[in-house]
Amino acid sequence: MSKWYVVQVLSGHEKKVKRALEEFLEQRGVRQLIEEILLPTEKVSEIKEGERRVVEKRIWPGYLLLRMQLTDDTWQYVKTTNGVIDFLGGGSPVALSDAEVEEILNDLKEKQEKVVARHQFAVGSKVKINDGVFVNFIGTVTAVSQEKGMLNVQVSIFGRDTQVDDLEFWQVEEVVEE
């Protein structure tokens, strides 16, 4: 029965390691045992030099997730692939629990859905700041510049309204009020 395992790889080489693992599955006879290799990423809109670009950002730099049956062959195959450091758990790899896998996969799905919603901010909507000096503050959008991918937010600090200007879309997330 297959389980999910976390593999630590050289940071910045995640795509290369994933490709190397996928390339030789058939040749090494482990195609049926290694079912899925997942590099958790999300698409993020960022502004560089006045241009908006959508880039792929690694959610957990230096790690890949593998759904596989752990055998001597699969363990050896993964361990000897260039760029692989080790399985999480060291000497004897420890599979993720079903609850952990469910949480991770739901988190990934949620992140993918949020990327689409990130660009639909409106003046007056509530947002939570996820980056910068005002991280975790919740405020109200006071201005939106779609072409620059930026917005301004008013937050309350010690009972006083404070304007936070020029936040990029990726630095905030919409707060859904219930």
Give the CATH number, domain containing residue 156.
Answer: 2.30.30.30
85, 117, 149: which is the final residue of a domain?
117
117, 137, 162: which is the final residue of a domain?
117
Domain of 96? Answer: 3-117
Give the chain's count of helices (H) and strands (E): 3, 11
Considering the domain architecture, whether residues 152 and 96 belong to the same structural domain is answered as no
Considering the domain architecture, whether residues 40 and 99 belong to the same structural domain is answered as yes
Rg (CA), the chain: 21
Considering the domain architecture, whether residues 43 and 88 belong to the same structural domain is answered as yes
CA 108-110-113 angle, 5° bins: 110
112-116 own/partner pairs: CB under 8 Å, 24+ apart: 112/42, 112/43, 114/42, 114/173, 115/42, 115/43, 115/44, 115/45
CA dist list (Å): 141 to 54, 115, 165 = 22, 18, 10
Considering the domain architecture, whether residues 67 and 9 belong to the same structural domain is answered as yes
Considering the domain architecture, whether residues 81 and 156 belong to the same structural domain is answered as no
Considering the domain architecture, whether residues 105 and 28 belong to the same structural domain is answered as yes
Considering the domain architecture, whether residues 79 and 110 belong to the same structural domain is answered as yes
State the chain's mean pLDDT as an integer: 86
Considering the domain architecture, whether residues 136 and 71 belong to the same structural domain is answered as no
Position 48 scores a pLDDT of 61
Total number of domains constituting the chain? 2
Q: Which of 33-42, 142-151, 169-178 has the lowest mean pLDDT?
A: 169-178
68, 98, 117: which is the final residue of a domain?
117
Considering the domain architecture, whether residues 111 and 159 belong to the same structural domain is answered as no
Supply the pTM of this predicted model.
0.62
**Residue of 41 and 86 predicted with greater confidence:** 86
